[in-house]
Amino acid sequence: MAARINYSIQNSLWLLNPLHSKATTHFRNRLKFRQNLFSLSKGAVFCSYATNTDKSGTEPADPFVLTTPLYYVNAPPHMGSAYTTIAADAIARFQRLLGKKVIFITGTDEHGEKIAAAAADGGSSPSEHCDVVSQAYKTLWKDLDIAYDKFIRTTEPKHEAIVKEFYSSVLANGDIYKADYEGLYCVNCEEYKDEKELLENQCCPIHLKPCVARKEDNYFFALSKYQKLLEDTLTENPDFVQPSFRLNEVQGWIKSGLRDFSISRASVDWGIPVPNDNKQTIYVWFDALLGYISALSEDRDQPSLRTAVSSGWPASLHLIGKDILRFHAVYWPAMLMSAGIGLPKKVFGHGFLTKDGMKMGKSLGNTLEPNELVHNFGSDAVRYFFLKEVEFGNDGDYSEDRFIKIVNAHLANTIGNLLNRTLGLLKKNCQSTLVVDSAVAAEGTAFKDTVEKLVQTARGHYENLSLSSACEAVLDISNAGNSYMDEHAPWSRFKQGGAASEAAAKDLVIILEAMRIIAIALSPVTPNLCWRIYEQLGYSNEQFGNAAWSDTKWGGLKGGQVMAQPKPVFGRIELKTGTEDGGEPAAAKQVAKKKEKKAKAQAVAEA
């Protein structure tokens, strides 16, 4: 069944056919307006409302505003929701280390049919249901050490006021009209679907459930009017959608023709009433996307679009899963253009965490429990594993076996063990005190250059959102440290005494300086672990909190600084016997045994 729009125009709402003369004039004016908005430096798409000048007339730096999707509260969070939020938190922490003012926005999307149905299923009212599930998100973010700045709920009065104002502005611009619509609807996507994108039996390709035929008299947003503007915007700002292969996808959608979409529902009560027609509620996506702006509105202010926009818009980065790319890279920019508001600078659509090749999601119910993972392994392990092991942008599968092996190998062995054995040697041979400044200790060694290069590499990767590669570069510092220790064998040089012993003491300073740098460079990903490393190096929590990326420069540790008592900063996770018996290849077992033997021999040598 082909979707069909019947243009039954009502009252003051005029036809939004681009050929309509009034619309055409308006369209040209908007085009001119758009050119003003966009004829700016490459990649910079500015906001017409935002004024970046403060009262003294000086121009403060733009904040770095990043968002996660506002999660749909049809069910509690799962590892997929946590994944985007962990990535956003790492990026936010990195930007803070660079000294940027960051506004990290997350929240919950609480309206719509699916929510009303979920509440009814659970025997509660929609608002009670939303309170409970929204709180579950907040609790999980706390457990995962997510340091967000704003948490917006789309049921907040300030959000409702801003949505209504936005709707009215788009209406006044002539981009909303009323029409009959008939099409196939996926309740789980809350979206009408094109028949050609559906699977057999008209099943949604994401939710694998049949779409239902719907016919409604709805308000429509004139998306088709923005086809050319969107095309030009993407050509002029190719970085707007990332990774770049997703840009092709978006350009493909636009080229294949944009159809106006319905932005109201007559059949859904649980939503924001359409201004001037309270028989309809605003479509959940038209409502939820505005949460990125209403989140900026301060509670003390009278909510208004203008004030919210001038408090940080445009967003620097929308971080989303690829499932909602069309809403963010096509619908949202067009809606903003219509309202005369600047576009976000970047939309990054990452891949899916999958289970048996299928997207893990609430609707399919094939989810992985983040609470359980955090409870069993701690937040650092969870954050590290997903950011390091899933290439940001691509899909990735989870297995507990691999999880344990990776975090043990990288965090417990490569990083934790290096710190622990170095501090052990320092305690035994130097009363836990550094003999010399790290800058002096590194004179004439190539090791310092290696570390500095890796730090630069890590920074570049963080900036490009290549989070896995950023972790890799930091891990390589520790790998280099382990090789340095093995080559220089300070434990045996201490036994020789004299100059050899002095050189060994310097080697320890060198390694500990590398550990200090790792503690800063990996802190966006594993903040707790990094704090524990910093603490072991004799710093206070306040000093850790004040650390900046510029502190990754070699030379922070000074002679005379006293280190804390060595204690493991990351406890090894033991493989469940069941898992080992469940088929760990014999070769892998042998390698593990050999490693264990080598570690024991090493410990004896160092004692």
Ligand X SMILES: Nc1ncnc2c1ncn2[C@@H]1O[C@H](COP(=O)(O)OP(=O)(O)OP(=O)(O)O)[C@@H](O)[C@H]1O
Binding positions for Zn ion, rule: CB under 5 A: 186, 188-189, 204, 206-207
Taking the least distance from each CB to ligand X, the nearer of 122 and 582 is 122
Taking the least distance from each CB to ligand X, the nearer of 352 and 531 is 352
State how far the Cα of 176 lies from the Cα of 260, in Å rounded to an integer.
Answer: 9
Query: Does position 363 bind ligand X by CB under 6 A?
Result: yes
Radius of gyration of the CA atoms of the chain, in A: 28
CA atoms within 13 A on the CB side of 242: 18
Q: Which strands sit side by side in the sheet containing 277-282, from one edge to the other?
A: 264-265, 277-282, 273-274
Question: Which entry of ligand X, Zn ion, none binds 324, CB below 5 to 8 A by partner kind?
Answer: ligand X
State how far the Cα of 596 lies from the Cα of 404, in Å rounded to an integer.
Answer: 16
Taking the least distance from each CB to Zn ion, the nearer of 240 and 283 is 283
State how far the Cα of 126 lies from the Cα of 116, in Å rounded to an integer.
Answer: 5
Question: Which entry of Zn ion, ligand X, none binds 85, CB below 5 to 8 A by partner kind?
Answer: none
Q: Is 333 helix (H, G, I), strand (E, B) or coil?
A: helix
Say if CB 261 and CB 289 are below 8 A apart: no
Query: Does position 87 bind ligand X by CB under 6 A?
Result: no
Taking the least distance from each CB to ligand X, the nearer of 189 and 569 is 189
Least distance in angstroms from the C-beta of 67 to ligand X: 10
Query: Does position 220 bind ligand X by CB under 6 A?
Result: no
Say if CB 458 and CB 474 are below 8 A apart: yes
Taking the least distance from each CB to ligand X, the nearer of 346 and 459 is 346
Question: Which entry of Zn ion, ligand X, none binds 362, CB below 5 to 8 A by partner kind?
Answer: ligand X
Query: Does position 527 bind ligand X by CB under 6 A?
Result: no
Taking the CB of residue 305, how many other CB atoms lie within 10 A of it?
Answer: 24
Least distance in angstroms from the C-beta of 208 to ligand X: 11
Question: Which entry of Zn ion, ligand X, none binds 204, CB below 5 to 8 A by partner kind?
Answer: Zn ion
Total number of residues binding ligand X (CB under 6 A)?
21
Query: Does position 271 bind ligand X by CB under 6 A?
Result: no
Taking the least distance from each CB to Zn ion, the nearer of 186 and 547 is 186
Query: Does position 516 bind ligand X by CB under 6 A?
Result: no
Phi, psi of 149 (to 5 degrees): -100, -35
Q: Which residue in the set 353, 470, 518, 529 belongs to the binding site for ligand X (CB under 6 A)?
A: 353
Q: Which of the 8 DSSP states describes residue 538?
A: T
Q: Crossing angle for the helix pair 527-536 and 498-521, nearest 10 degrees?
A: 150
Binding mask 175-194 for ligand X (x = CB under 6 A): -------------x------
Residues 6+ apart with CB under 8 A from 289: 327, 328, 331, 332, 335
Query: Does position 112 bind ligand X by CB under 6 A?
Result: no
Taking the least distance from each CB to Zn ion, the nearer of 197 and 542 is 197
Binding mask 297-336 for ligand X (x = CB under 6 A): -----------------------xx-xx------------
Residue-by-residue DSSP string for 190-211: TEEE-GGG--GGGB-TTT-SB-
Least distance in angstroms from the C-beta of 364 to ligand X: 6
Query: Does position 345 bind ligand X by CB under 6 A?
Result: no
**Alpha-carbon distance values, 167 to 163, 176, 274, 600 (Å):** 6, 9, 8, 68
Query: Does position 518 bind ligand X by CB under 6 A?
Result: no
Q: Are strands 176-186 and 4-6 parallel, antiparallel or unpaired?
A: antiparallel
Say if CB 368 and CB 355 are below 8 A apart: yes
The binding site for ligand X (CB under 6 A) comprises 69, 71-72, 74, 80-81, 83-84, 188, 320-321, 323-324, 352-353, 359-364
